[in-house]
Amino acid sequence: MDEERGPSAVKHADVGKNGGHDGHDHGGGESPGWKSHWALLLSLAVLVAMLTLEYGFGYVPSAPLGLAIYGAAYLLAGYKVLDLAFRKAMRLDFFNEFFLMSVATLGAFAIGSYSEGVAVMVFYSIGEWFQDAAVNRAKRSIKALLDIRPDEVSVIRNGTAMVVDPKEVQIGETIQMKSGEKVALDGELLSEKASFNTAALTGESKPDTKAKGEKVYAGMINLNTVAEVQVTSLFRDSKLSRILEMVQDATARKSQTQLFISRFAKVYTPIVFFLALAVCAVPYFIIDDYDFNVWFYRALVFLVISCPCALVVSIPLGYFGGIGLASRNGILFKGSNFLDVMTRVNAVVMDKTGTLTHGVFKVQQVVAHGLEEQELISLTAAIETQSTHPIAKAIAEFAGAQTLQVSKIEQVEEISGHGLKGMIDGKQVLAGNTKLLKKFNIPYPLEIEGIVNTIVVVAVNGQYAGYITIADEIKEDAAQAIREMHALNIQTVMLSGDKQTVVDEVATKLGIDTAFGNLLPEDKVAKVQALKDQGRHIAFVGDGVNDAPVVALADAGIAMGGLGSDATIETADVVIQNDQPSKIVSAIKVGKITRSIVWQNIILAMTVKVIVLALGAGGVATLWEAVIADVGVALLAILNAVRIQRMKV
């Protein structure tokens, strides 16, 4: 690992940690402006002035004067590169770009090609400057996207709002946000209602209105009123802190392509160094009119163009850009290796509840028998208010303003596995499944046994009174997500613990290829294993907690709604923060975009280098062409990698 950056003299350990650049330093983070590069710019000005005098006015300085002027310009542009090359050589590390550039440029001076020696060092350093800027921009874009935690927060202590550092706030304390202020810590809303901009966390700019008691997370922006939140997590444990840490750590998990390029560079650099020696030495034994200066010059060209800079910088930068693009769309990759994994996925296996459906039960149909529909709703909702079951809550919420006023609810009894029994305004009410009515010998129409959705059957005073069907709502973009997967030739499979009739209905509505219901966790593992045995590359999408065995088995585990679950963030390889199934396709597209640009850079760099290496060995290319080709390819590759961050998926 390099200790410092050559032209920028910035420690690369920071880039390696946060940018994943494999020891090829491109820092420049401390002072990226032109003022920090005054020596390089002065060297460039001297080079331009001397070339203008030579080619514009025919003035060629004497050898001593030319050496002095060009030598000064050379040191201004390359003293940091020379320093690093020397220190690495002292550690017997000769096969690095600094040593290659130092040998090539000093060699040019040795044979009297002063202007070319300076030009190589100047343009190499300018290329490094732009590369540093590209890396820092990528790092800043990620950090700015997520590290939006406020530096101060208003906490209410002894009835007074005090401004303190968020790190000093304890669990259970109450914080206050004015309109336009960011939430500093996770907590529960104490105010009756408040709207928040959640774009920094979910990638969605539309307001999210929260009611009293609902979860609020650090990074949200309070939109329209003063809001109070009771803190439930310390500053370091907030979802935003965990997400920021996860994205930073992701850049250290390298893809197979990155690992290959790292290994390739370690082998490639010494090979081309010895090939350069061969270009200079071998002709001595096979050519009669051997001229050392001619072949030494060709060897220098070979060294300059051989620098692997374009590859070892642009490839990690491409993956970094892919992670940034995903983050801005509310998708968190736990490593660039998972960007590669997503490009190979040809089967997406999904859980139903919470993935394709909202996981919130809603009343679908009310059918009354022998009494008014409104009365059926009123009586059922009244008895269901005595239960905490999600279905009971769905009925009570649905009733709302329709509920008739009931004055007396008494003798409510929950019959396990059946439902509820109670007295409502003097009427005996039973609400539950068909087994409840059978238990009390109350006849009911047999056709309701075939109803697909969850059903609550009601009896009043010993007589069948009707039923209410309950179903989990399908997410708005679920059908679109399935269509887009099919357009990418991806097989879709749904696995669920729900009854098969419910699973089949959802699968039919969405157009899912295969759906299995009544599954236990071990059954889901068996289904996924069967797909893997068919040679499928699988992404499993679920909650990441209950389905942990399946997530572990799949090539990529994707968690939906990870913002609300610590365990989900820990378990999954990819986290979709805004709970939208369509983001599954976005994750696959980000992976494909990243892979495409990375391979564009690899092909571009290798093609140009092979051509110029051949031309240099044949005496056609000069040091000018070599340095322009090297710097030009590196800049093109980096600009191409940076382009990822502006794309849309």
Is residue 513 among the annotated active site residues? no
Write the pLDDT tens digit of every residue in 593-627: 999 998 998 888 888 888 887 887 777 888 778 77
Cβ count near 502 (within 10 Å): 21
Task: Using the 3D structure, point to which of 234, 264, 295 is the last residue of a domain.
Answer: 234
Mean pLDDT confidence for 386-393: 78
* Residue 459, in any domain of the structure: yes
Distance, in Å, from the CA atom of 586 to the CA atom of 576, rounded to the nearest integer, reads: 10
* Residue 435, in any domain of the structure: yes
Write the pLDDT tens digit of every residue in 329-356: 888 888 888 899 999 999 999 988 778 9
Taking 80 as the threshold, does the pLDDT of residue 360 lie above it? no
Distance, in Å, from the CA atom of 170 to the CA atom of 162, rounded to the nearest integer, reads: 14
Distance, in Å, from the CA atom of 177 to the CA atom of 231, rounded to the nearest integer, reads: 12
pLDDT at position 450: 78
CATH, residue 202: 2.70.150.10
- Per-residue confidence band for 136, with pLDDT thresholds at 50, 70 and 90: low
Distance, in Å, from the CA atom of 379 to the CA atom of 80, rounded to the nearest integer, reads: 83
* Residue 278, in any domain of the structure: no
Domains identified in the chain, total number: 2
Catalytic residue among 22, 25, 351, 498: 351
Mean pLDDT confidence for 557-562: 78
- Per-residue confidence band for 20, with pLDDT thresholds at 50, 70 and 90: very low
Which structural domain range is residue 426 located in? 359-473
Distance, in Å, from the CA atom of 645 to the CA atom of 649, rounded to the nearest integer, reads: 11
pLDDT at position 298: 86
* Residue 115, in any domain of the structure: no
Write the pLDDT tens digit of every residue in 97-135: 788 778 878 888 888 888 888 888 888 788 778 767 766
Distance, in Å, from the CA atom of 457 to the CA atom of 449, rounded to the nearest integer, reads: 10
CATH, residue 444: 3.40.1110.10
Taking 70 as the threshold, does the pLDDT of residue 569 lie above it? no
Give the DSSP H or E segment for 39: helix 38-56
* Residue 564, in any domain of the structure: no
Higher pLDDT, 554 or 207: 554
Write the pLDDT tens digit of every residue in 157-186: 988 888 898 889 999 999 998 888 888 888
Whether the CB-CB separation of 218 and 173 falls below 8 Å is answered with no
CA distances from 172 to 211, 225, 394 (A): 19, 22, 30
Higher pLDDT, 15 or 114: 114
- Per-residue confidence band for 206, with pLDDT thresholds at 50, 70 and 90: low
Q: Which residues of 465-495 are buried (b: 16+ CB within 10 A; e: fewer)?
A: bbbbbbbbebbebbbebbebbeeeebbbbbb
* Residue 211, in any domain of the structure: yes
- Per-residue confidence band for 12, with pLDDT thresholds at 50, 70 and 90: very low
Task: Using the 3D structure, point to which of 431, 458, 473 is the last residue of a domain.
Answer: 473
Write the pLDDT tens digit of every residue in 36-65: 788 888 998 998 899 898 888 888 888 889
Write the pLDDT tens digit of every residue in 419-447: 889 988 888 999 988 889 999 999 999 88
* Residue 205, in any domain of the structure: yes
Beta bridge pairs of residue 647: none
Phi, psi angle pair for 92, to nearest 5°: 65, 30
Taking 90 as the threshold, does the pLDDT of residue 14 lie above it? no
pLDDT at position 22: 40
**Percentage of the chain surpassing pLDDT 90?**
20
Distance, in Å, from the CA atom of 596 to the CA atom of 536, rounded to the nearest integer, reads: 22
* Residue 494, in any domain of the structure: no
Task: Using the 3D structure, point to which of 473, 496, 515 is the last residue of a domain.
Answer: 473
